[in-house]
Structure 1
Amino acid sequence: MRLIALLLCSSVLAGCASKSNDDPSGTWINQAAIDAARESGHLREALAAYGPNLEWQIDAAKQEATYSNGFEVAEGRLQRIDPQHWQVTFYGDYRERLSLSHDQLTQDASDYWPEQQFTRVPAAEAQTTPGSNFERALYRAYLGGDWLIEKGPGRGGLVRFAADGTVEGLPGAERYALCLAGDCAAMSGDNDSIWLQLGEQGSPWIFVHEGNQLRIFDAQNRAQFDEMPEYQPGPQRWLLKRK
């Protein structure tokens, strides 16, 4: 009898454990955009194809939901529609709907955005600053590892891009930031761009990521002095090869 009781108890517990989680609370990132950028090398194209939103942070208990698109952060009020569907209302009565299925969060297609998919970040790894979780995951996947300087200043040295935005071994730079959206994207047109900074001084650069090679070019401004900058690739400064 005790054995039967234990088996029944185990069955009940297993059934409970196998139920899908209907709580969307936590941090969610656009992993599809990261995977596409890593596989193709084309960052802006990947963000355009799978974005534009890059991260959600949700607190169901407080009825709060925040998204980041790499340029701006929007905070909204979360409301449950049914166990797997939620609505987020933002300033100006603008709404988005979210669907939850196992460990996948879907931002439903709307008048503003296409359907987008998000993957949950483990709670122990999640950062509180909106957008920082996507950036760290992107930096790790897209630029992680050791790079050898094949051409340019520091030739023969190793370069390491860290997930927190620091860079080691690249002459004249100690921090970097990939352009995801906003003014930097508008100013670089169809080109991928990166910000390199040393101390308080920094500047934009154009880059091309092809397989295991990373080419970094001077960003030449083609605009007039009274116009918004319009950057195009200039002379190549570095050629890096991933080891």
Structure 2
Amino acid sequence: MRHTLTALLASALLVGCAGKPGSPDGIWINQPLIDAAREGGPLREALLAHGPNLEWRIDSARGIATYSNGFELGEGQLSAEQPGHWQVDYHGDYQEQLSLDGKQLVQAASANGPEQYFSKPATAMAADAPPGSSFEWALYQAYLGGKWTISQGLGQGGLVIFHPDGRVEGLPGSERYALCLAGDCASMAGDHDSLWLQLGQQGAPWLFERDGDELRIFEAVNQAQSTEMPEYRPGRQAWLLERD
């Protein structure tokens, strides 16, 4: 999990990274995953159903295509096939096939994953923002956007706002957050969704459950031995948030 999100998101462009008509150039995000998360169910289910790749960055002039899956980056060599189709080679180990279908970029099904669909983001980050930033902005806005009221827990009655750049206002003891999308944080959380909450230089993982307009945040209790990778289960409920 990336524990802090770059301040460069503040310089977002309302349109960005668009290539010429018929060109794959630019940033593409996994919009079906975002739409599924917007329904307000478990984030893990949306990731499993529509992942694993979250964002593509394509630069045909340099012949480079990079994907982000929330944990790692894969950079491959882009080459044009027949019109509207491209191949991405990863050091000869494997390939991905990309194509344009109207306003969507299609990643063909392969041994590495299912067929996936990507769209241009409504808000694209600055060119030097970390890969995956455009997807995270859109996901955070869709999944946690709006105004939440603390119904139970410290600060009861207060207003909480999760900003798409990773800032959080009104949640006691926190000023930054990051949703766990893949990697070690997902492995440690098992079947649960998790997020990172941070104040200054100090932060910790928490588990959460999302059900429509209710968000329950739990302490993450480590069941593993000190010599093992942490294995978290939900502990005490710290907050119940309800969205207006």
Same fold (TM over 0.5): yes
- State the match for 2:236 in structure 1: 235
- State the match for 2:201 in structure 1: 200
AA aligned to 2:49 is A
Indicate whether 1:113 and 2:113 are aligned. Answer: yes
Q: CA RMSD in A?
A: 1.3
Give SS of 1:78's match. strand
Q: TM-score, normalised by structure 1?
A: 0.89
Task: Give the structure with the larger helix fraction.
Answer: 1
Preserved CA contact (<8 Å) 2:159 2:170: yes
Preserved CA contact (<8 Å) 2:121 2:138: no
Matches within 5 A, 1:1-243: 21-122=21-122, 125-128=124-127, 129-243=130-244
Q: Deviations over 1:150-207 (max 9, x none)?
A: 1100111100000000000000000000000000000000100010000010000000
Q: Distance in 2 between matches of 1:44 and 1:127?
A: 28
AA aligned to 2:64 is E
> What percent of counterpart residues are identical?
62
AA aligned to 2:236 is P
Structure 2 gap ranges (5+) = 1-19
Higher RCO, 1 or 2 (CA under 8 Å, sep at least 6)?
2
Q: Distance in 1 between matches of 2:40 and 2:149?
A: 20
Give SS of 1:53's match. coil
Q: TM-score, normalised by structure 2?
A: 0.89
How many residues in Structure 1 have an aligned counterpart in Structure 2? Answer: 223
AA aligned to 2:183 is G
Q: Deviations over 1:38-79 (max 9, x none)?
A: 214211111111010000000111111100000001111110
Give structure 1 regions of 4+ aligned residues with deviation exceeding 4 angstroms.
none
AA aligned to 1:217 is F
Structure 1 gap ranges (5+) = 1-19
Larger radius of gyration: 1
Q: Distance in 2 between matches of 1:96 and 1:84?
A: 14
Preserved CA contact (<8 Å) 1:21 1:102: no
Preserved CA contact (<8 Å) 1:26 1:121: no
